[in-house]
Amino acid sequence: MSNKNRSPWAWIPSLYFAQGLPYVAVMTISVIMYKRLGISNTDIALYTSWLYLPWVIKPFWSPFVDLLKTKRWWVVTMQLLVGAGLAGIAFTVPTTSFFQITLAVFWLVAFSSATHDIAADGYYMLALDNHQQAMYVGIRSTFYRVATIAGQGLLIMVAGALESSTGLQPLDLEVKAGPEYAATVLLPEDSTLINTYLYNPTEEFTFDVYPKEIVIGTGNISTDSAALLRVFAVEQNMLNGFIPKEYSKSVATSTGVEESWWSNNISGPAGKWIKRNFGEENIGSEAHELTGSSKLVEVRLTKAPEPGEKIVLNTSFDKGDKSIFLAHGERIEFTSENWDKPAFLLIQVDPKLSESTTAGFRGLSGNITFAWSITFFIMAGFFIAVALYHKFILPKPVVDVAAKDVTPSTIVKEFFETFASFFRKKEIKAAIAFMLLFRFSEAQLVKMVTPFLLDPNEVGGLGLTTGQVGIVYGTVGIIGLTLGGIIGGIVASVGGLKKWLWPMALAIALPSFTFVYLSVYLPDSLFLINLSVFIEQFGYGFGFTAYMLYMIYFSDGKHKTAHYAICTAFMALGMMIPGMMAGWLQELVGYKHFFYWIMISYGVTFIVTAFIKVDPSFGRKEKAVS
């Protein structure tokens, strides 16, 4: 098969898998790695949040991708740069200044990845005709999601396996929870605070746990009691040097705190008016100050480490029901100076858990820097391999050519011309309105789905446990979303975007009635809840196809790569702004009235859909002329 006629299946899955993986590496895997390496939550949140910036501002350098070289060249080159950056992280993780150096390299990876996104999307539009673009739009989204799952799952498992293969034998904790166990608050006795191995040395070097059998009742305890256990665990671990000392500012109470101008003049009065006219009466009046039972677990070493040696125990969820979780003690440092004291882990159950269940936690003490270094080497090797693969496998579209006679002055001129030409496009006002408002309701809904599933019936939620939400939204929902996207791409390639525009707009709106049903009747049936979420997510995946195809359609022209990047900026803005107000609005009116509002606000989706114009032939396979 010639390069020109190569099947899109040979490169679309690998291209969009390669597009999704570095985003996950920068935004998710970096957080887990830094947590494992002992960086504070404050520093992790602050510095890794800035890594999102390249994807936010990528439209500003998208014109350069349009002007210089070909899109194919940019794709391959950025994949090589991403691979080099990931290798740089692998090399620098073991250094003493790893945090500063790896952050700098993550910035390189982030900018390379954002540039790769621009080039890949542009190449997709150049290499495929309109019919193929519609056909494979669901496939590209699917493999992007596969990359997300692989990055958050498979690569983390690789790092964990490398950790468990070095260091001491892994610490395995089996936790049982159920109504047959007492929900009591117990602080350890003074006699248990001494490491008995100090006086009875052993040749085996491992971790020891007390109590041997960890059981927790599913009856709830007061929030004050749970807080008491947490304070005890944190203070003891800090006192004995198992965790670094943390200083936190006291939270100001409402008394004496001056409210902002916005609260006094805008959100406060508006909120009172909304709550008075549209809020649910007595919402949350029956909620009580109880939380899930908690249990302290003591961990000891059976032998003293060598002077200067540090044994780091990283404990995380391993298997079973995620309704049982680790509330404190994810990272414990044992040294020759504190090994004779017990370290404390705090395990807690979801307050809505009522039946008997189990969970397993695993603590790893291997060579963490080695494990993460190898993990990033694997990613680097993958990207270098995929760059070489694409170097030979990507077709060379005739229209994928670099701009001619490029000079510094023409670059500056074309840079501004690219943005100006976007805003001079026909129907620009309708297009921007569509990109900003088509998902106006969905942007609000997606922020409140998980809280709605988790919140108790007393405040209008479904009262699911954390583990159940993982199945309902993290598994069934993703399946529905993926299937909807794939089927949407297939039908759009048959009939064209114009034919399916309104069915897809209806598909993104009407299935949300399932949340109105759930909020009104609050069913206990997991089957009905799963079915409702599946229907809503399937409809969203199916309807979102129209949105993506319209961005491709509107970007078509001389600067399609840069224009598509600008469209994605409007897409992000259209999700960000409505989502910001969703929680505030829901707290004012309650879940039931909030979902009523979601259905009413889909009128905005229909209005902006009515104003856009699409060529009837776009996305549809052209008939051969005899």
User: Which positions ≥6 away from 408 have C-beta within 8 Å?
Assistant: none
Residues 346 and 460 in one domain: no
Long-range pairs for 38-41: beta carbons < 8 A, 24 or more residues apart = 38/244, 38/312, 38/331, 38/333, 39/99, 40/244, 40/246
Asked if residues 28 and 365 have their Cβ atoms less than 8 Å apart, the reply is no
Please state the rounded mean pLDDT for residues 439-467. 83
The CATH number assigned to the domain holding 85 equals: 1.20.1250.20
Q: Is residue 416 part of a domain?
A: no
The pLDDT of residue 277 is 67
Residues 33 and 180 in one domain: no
Segments forming the whole domain that contains residue 153: 1-166+368-411
290-291 and 311-320 as β-strands: parallel, antiparallel, unpaired?
Answer: unpaired
Q: Is residue 257 part of a domain?
A: no
In sign, the C-alpha dihedral spanning 19, 21, 24, 26 is negative
Q: Token digits for 462?
A: 């479904």
pLDDT single digits (tens) 4-48: 567 889 999 999 999 999 998 988 888 888 888 888 777 887 788
Please state the rounded mean pLDDT for residues 525-553. 90
Q: Is residue 213 part of a domain?
A: yes
Distance CA(365)–CA(172), nearest Å, equals 12
The pLDDT of residue 253 is 37
Q: Which residue, among 106, 115, 126, 133, has the nearest Cα to 47 in the 3D structure?
A: 106
Asked if residues 65 and 406 have their Cβ atoms less than 8 Å apart, the reply is no
Q: Which residue, among 227, 372, 370, 246, has the nearest Cα to 292 in the 3D structure?
A: 227
* pLDDT of 482 above 80: yes
User: Which positions ≥6 away from 451 have C-beta within 8 Å?
Assistant: 461, 583, 586
Helix or strand or coil: residue 489? helix
Distance CA(29)–CA(390), nearest Å, equals 25
* pLDDT of 285 above 60: no
| Radius of gyration of the CA atoms of the chain, in A | 27
Could you tell me the pLDDT band of residue 451, with boundaries at 50, 70 and 90? Answer: confident
Helices 526-555 and 130-149: crossing angle in degrees, nearest 10, is: 130
Residues 345 and 238 in one domain: yes
The pLDDT of residue 257 is 42
- 175-184, 264-273, 470-479: which is most confident: 175-184
* pLDDT of 139 above 90: no
* pLDDT of 283 above 60: no
Residues 591 and 453 in one domain: yes
Domain count, the chain: 3
* pLDDT of 250 above 80: no
Residue written as token pair 């909020």: 519
Least confident of 172-181, 273-282, 381-390: 273-282
The pLDDT of residue 616 is 84
* pLDDT of 77 above 80: yes
Q: What is the DSSP string of 177-205?
A: EETTS-----PPPGGGGS-GGGTS--S--
| Number of CB atoms found within 10 A of residue 546's CB | 29
Residues 320 and 382 in one domain: no
The pLDDT of residue 133 is 85
Q: Is residue 255 part of a domain?
A: no
Q: Token digits for 574?
A: 């259209």
Least confident of 30-34, 272-276, 356-360, 499-503: 272-276
Least confident of 43-57, 363-377, 503-517: 43-57
Residues 385 and 510 in one domain: no
Please state the rounded mean pLDDT for residues 205-227. 89
Residues 208 and 321 in one domain: yes
Please state the rounded mean pLDDT for residues 322-349. 90
Distance CA(78)–CA(383), nearest Å, equals 10
Partner residues linked to 178 by β-bridges = 217
Residues 361 and 375 in one domain: no
* pLDDT of 542 above 80: yes
- Strands (DSSP E) contained in 99-218 are 171-178, 207-210, 214-217
Q: Is residue 156 part of a domain?
A: yes
Please state the rounded mean pLDDT for residues 120-146. 85
Please state the rounded mean pLDDT for residues 141-157. 82
- Over the chain, what is the mean pLDDT? 84
Residues 607 and 534 in one domain: yes
Distance CA(68)–CA(404), nearest Å, equals 9
Could you tell me the pLDDT band of residue 61, with boundaries at 50, 70 and 90? Answer: confident
Q: Is residue 252 part of a domain?
A: no
Residues 544 and 439 in one domain: yes
Q: Is residue 392 part of a domain?
A: yes
* pLDDT of 83 above 80: yes
Residue written as token pair 């950025």: 78
Least confident of 238-252, 319-333, 572-586: 238-252
Ranges of H-type helices in 293-406: 368-393
Could you tell me the pLDDT band of residue 281, with boundaries at 50, 70 and 90? Answer: low
Residues 113 and 178 in one domain: no
Per DSSP, the chain holds a count of helices (H) and strands (E) of: 22, 11
Residues 82 and 184 in one domain: no
Q: Is residue 251 part of a domain?
A: no
C-alpha separations of 301 from 9, 169, 321, 345 in Å: 54, 12, 28, 14
Percentage above 70 pLDDT, the chain: 88
* pLDDT of 254 above 60: no
Task: At 318, give phi and psi (nearest 5°).
Answer: -120, -45
